[in-house]
Amino acid sequence: MKERINRTVLLVVLAFLVAAPWVLPAIGFDYWLDILAEIIIWSLFAASVNLLFGYVGLLSFGQALFFGMGMFGVAIGIAKLGLGFWPALGFGMTVAIGTAAVAGALAVRLTWHYFAIITVVFSLIFYFLALSAKPLTGGDDGTSFSMPAMLEAGGFELSLTDPTVQYFFILSVAAAAYFLKYLIVKSPFGMALMAVRENDVRASLIGLNVYFLRWITFVIAGGFAGLAGCLFALFGRYASATYMFYHVSGEGVVWTIIGGAGTLFGPAVGTALLIVVREELSNIWEHYPILVGLVVILTVIFAPKGLMGFWNALLDRLAPAPADRASGGGRPNGAVDAAAVPAERRTGP
Amino acid sequence: MTCKNKTGKPEATWLRTELPRRSFLQTALAGGAVASTAYLSLTRDLVAKESGPIVIGHQCELTGGFSSWGYWHDKCAKAAANLINEGGGIGGRKLEVPVADTESTPAAGARKLRSLIQRSKASFVVGSVHSGIMLASIPIATELKTPYFSAGEATEATGSKGTRYSFRTGTDTYALAAAGAPWAFENLGKNWTMIFPDYAWGHSHHQEHRKLIESMGGKVNDPIAVPLGTRDLVPYLAKIPEETEVLFSVFFGALSVAFYTQSKSMKLDERMKMYSVSGTIEAIHPEAINGAAENVFFLENFPRPLEYKNDEYHKKFIEMMDIDPVHAQENGSDRVMAKSHAWQSYENFFVLKKAIEASGWQRNKDTPGVIEALEGLEMENSLAHPQGAKLLRGEDHSGMIDCYMSQVENGVFVVKRRIPRAEMEALLPPRYDFREYEL
C-alpha cells in the first residue's frame, strides 16, 4: 500500500515535471519554469551531499568546490577556449571529477568533523584561487558567456536559449543522474556503502575496502555536484567564484537534512521546499533568511528524519504493511531506507 | 458532410464545384466578416496605444556587503519614480518600479533579474552597482531582450561582455583612468605605485591607469596585490617603494577604512601623494574614520558639497535625498550618500523615459526603437539629470560625463578641478561598437 502511494505520488510529480513547460505558462506562472529548472539543478547538488552523508556517513562542506569546478569548466571552455556546447560540458565534468579524485584521495582518510573541516579547507583554497586568477576566471567579476548551440544541422538549430529546450535538457540530465544514483544505492555496491556507514570496522572485517569505497563515492558525489555546476553555468550563462564558497555547500547540507538524508528523493524535496519559500519570502521581506532559518529549525525539531522520513512514518501509521499490521508495528518492509535506520543501529560497537 | 451528385453517388461537400447562390452569399458574408475583423485587428494593432503602467524593474543591493550603497540606489529610484509619476508618467502611462534585492551576490542578483523581467513583467531594468552581479545579469537581460542599465565599474559591461542591451551612464575603470590620471600625473607625481586587494576591480584599475601613466612618460612600479581576507595591511604597505610619488589605492568597505587608517599611522601621506577613486570612500564620512582620509585625492562623479556644482537642479536633488549640502549625510541619520554612483539609479529612469517617449514605445516588441533612441542620447543639465549634461555614447553605450578631482580637507571634499567630459572623451576612444550587433 505504502509503495503504491509512493509510486503514485512519484508518477504525479513526474507528470507535472514533464507537463510544466505548457501548464505553468497557461496559468500565468511562466516565471516558475525557470525556478523549477533551478530547483532541479540544486536538487542534483543536494543529491551529491546526500550520497556522501546519507549513504556513507561523510558530512561534506566542500561540494561547492566541485560545483564551482563544473561551472568554471563550462564557462572557461566556452568563453576562453572556444569550445562548443558538448565539449564544454565534457570539459566541466572532467575538471570536476578530476578535482574530486585528487581531493578525495586526501579527504577520505579522515572521518567525522575532521573530514568536514578538510572539505571546508579545500573549498576555501580553491575559492581564493578562483578569485585571484582573474585572467582565467574573471576573478570576483566571474565569467559570462553566450550560449552555443546544442545541435546545428543545416538550418536547424537547437539551443538552450529556448526556455522549453533548456528546461527539458536540465530535466533529462538530472533524471538520468537520479536514475544512476538509484542504481548505485540499490546495487551490492550501494549496500557496501551503507555497511561502511553503519560500522566501518565491521565492514573492513568482512573484506570491504573502506578507503576505496569512501573515495569512489566521494568522486561520484563530486561528479554529481560538478554536473549540477555545469548545468547551472549553462542555465545562468555565467560562472562565479561565489558559488565555490562553503556557504553554498552548507545550503546543500541543509536541503538534504530537511528533505531527509539517506533517501533517494529527500534532497529534492528539501531543495524544492526551501527554494520556493525563499522565492516567495524574498519578495516580501529582504531579511527572509531569518524565516527560512525558522522553517529549518522547526523541521529539524518536528521531523528529525527530514520530510521524507516524516512522510514515510505517516504512511506507515496510516497504511501499515500486512506483516506490520499483524505485529502491530509500523516498520516498512522491503527496500532499505537509511533515514529509517534507528540511530542506535548506526552507532553500534 | 456529404451530398449526392447527379449519378446518385455521395460526394463530399468540399468537392463540389457548383456553389448555390445562398451558399455563395453566406460564404461572401462570412468572408467579409472575417476580413473586416482581421482588418480591424490589424489597424488596432497599428494605431492602438497601451494604457497600462510601464514597468521598469530596479535590481539593487538592499542587503549584504553593498547595502550601504544600495540604500541610496533604492532611495534614488523611488525619488525618480515619484517625480516621473507626478509629472504624468511616461508617455501618459504610470511608471511602476518593482524592486529586487540582489543580496549583494551574483547568484541572487541573476535570479532576481529573471524575476523582475519574467515575474514582475519589467520591460526595462535599472540594474546593479555590483560588478559581479552586473556581469552575471547582462547575458540574461540580453537573452530576454530587455535593456539593462548598470552602475558597476567593471569595464567589461560596456566592453568585451557588453551587448546591444547593456548600458551605463556612469564611469568604468577605463573612463576613470581617462578622467583622473592626466591631472594626477601632472599635479601629484610621475612615479606611481598601485595597491589593491587581489581581485578584479583593483586589477582593472591598475591595467587602465598603467597604460595612461606610461604613455605620458611616467613610471609605474610593480603593483601590490593584497591577498583576499587580509586584515593587517602593514606588511604590504611596507613594500611600497621609497621613490613612489603617488600611491593609488583601490580598496572597498572595511578594508578601505583599514587602508586609510593604517597608511595614515605609517605617515605614508607625508612621503607621497595619496590618490584614489570615489568608490573607495562612498557612503563613508571622512570624519567617521578619524581623519585618516585627510589630504587624500579622490576622483568623483558627483561632488559631495553643493557649492562645486551650485545650481538649482543639484539643490533640488539634495532636498529630495534629504541630505546635507556639505557632507551628503542624511538628515537625522548617520548614513552618507553614495553620491558618485547612486545618481545613476535616479537619472537612468529619466534616460529611459526620454527614449521611450522619443521612440513611441508601446509594448515589448517596440524595444528595438528604444535602444536606437538611447544610442547617442544627449542629456541636458536638468532636474532629470542633476549630475550634469551628458552623452550616452552610441558605439559603446557608455556615459560621457563631467568628473571632479577632490581632496579631503578638514573632513570636507574640496573640488580641485572639474574635469569636463570632453577631456575624458579625448582619451577614451570607443573600443566596441554595439550598433553593429543585431537587435
Residues from chain A contacting residue B140 (CB–CB below 8 Å): 236-237
B192, B291: one domain: yes
User: Over the stretch B257-291, which tens digit does the pLDDT of each residue have?
Assistant: 899 999 999 999 999 999 999 999 999 999 998 88
pLDDT at A180 over 80: yes
Residues from chain A contacting residue B101 (CB–CB below 8 Å): 282, 286
pLDDT at A41 over 90: yes
Interface of A with B in 159-178 (CB under 8 A): 161
Whose cell is 540499490? That residue is A186
B72, B115: one domain: yes
**pLDDT for res B44:** 44
> Grid coordinates standing for A204?
573492513
Q: Name the fold adopted by A2-346.
A: ABC transporter involved in vitamin B12 uptake, BtuC (1.10.3470)
- Provide the number of structural domains found in chain B: 2
pTM here? 0.80
Asked whether the ipTM of the predicted complex exceeds the cut of 0.95, the reply is: no
B204, B293: one domain: yes
Q: What is the mean pLDDT of chain A?
A: 85
Residue type, B188: L
B58, B150: one domain: yes
- Range B409-414, long-range pairs (CB < 8 A, 24+ positions): B409/B294, B409/B295, B410/B294, B411/B285, B411/B286, B411/B287, B411/B291, B411/B294, B411/B327, B412/B286, B412/B304, B412/B305, B412/B326, B412/B327, B413/B286, B413/B298, B413/B300, B413/B303, B413/B304, B413/B305, B414/B305
pLDDT at B131 over 60: yes
CA distance B382 to chain A (A): 34
User: Over the stretch A182-230, which tens digit does the pLDDT of each residue have?
Assistant: 999 899 998 888 888 888 889 889 888 889 999 999 999 999 999 999 9
**pLDDT for res A308:** 87
In a mutational test of the A interface, the residue from B67, B103, B111, B114 whose CB has the highest number of chain A CBs within 10 Å is B111
B412, B389: one domain: no
B378, B277: one domain: no
B68, B156: one domain: yes
B200, B274: one domain: yes
CA distance A160 to chain B (A): 11
- Residue B228 sits in a domain whose CATH number is 3.40.50.2300
CB B162 within 8 A of CB B396: yes
**pLDDT for res A345:** 38
Among A294-303, B42-51, B331-340, which stretch is predicted with the lowest mean pLDDT?
B42-51
B153, B185: one domain: no
What is the CB-side half-sphere exposure of residue A147 using CA atoms within 13 A?
25
Chain A residue with the nearest C-alpha to that of B204: A134
**pLDDT for res B14:** 38
Q: Is A287 on the interface with B (CB under 8 A)?
A: yes
pLDDT band at A343 (very low <50, low <70, confident <90, very high): very low
CA distance B318 to chain A (A): 27
pLDDT at B157 over 90: no
**How far is residue A81's CA from residue A89's CA, in Å, rounded to a whole number?**
12
What is the CB-side half-sphere exposure of residue B330 using CA atoms within 13 A?
16
Residues from chain A contacting residue B200 (CB–CB below 8 Å): 134, 138-141
Q: Do B161 and A144 touch (CB under 8 A)?
A: yes
pLDDT at B218 over 60: yes
**pLDDT for res B90:** 96
Q: What is the mean pLDDT of chain B?
A: 88
Largest interatomic CA distance in chain B: 115
Residues from chain A contacting residue B62 (CB–CB below 8 Å): 286
pLDDT at B110 over 70: yes
Give the DSSP H or E segment for A131. Answer: helix A112-132
Domain contains B348: yes
**pLDDT for res A335:** 39
Whose cell is 533517494? That residue is A264
**Domain range annotation of chain A:** 2-346
Q: Per-residue pLDDT averaged across B410-434, rounded?
A: 94
B164, B216: one domain: no
Residues from chain A contacting residue B103 (CB–CB below 8 Å): 286
Domain span at residue B271 reads 174-300+404-419
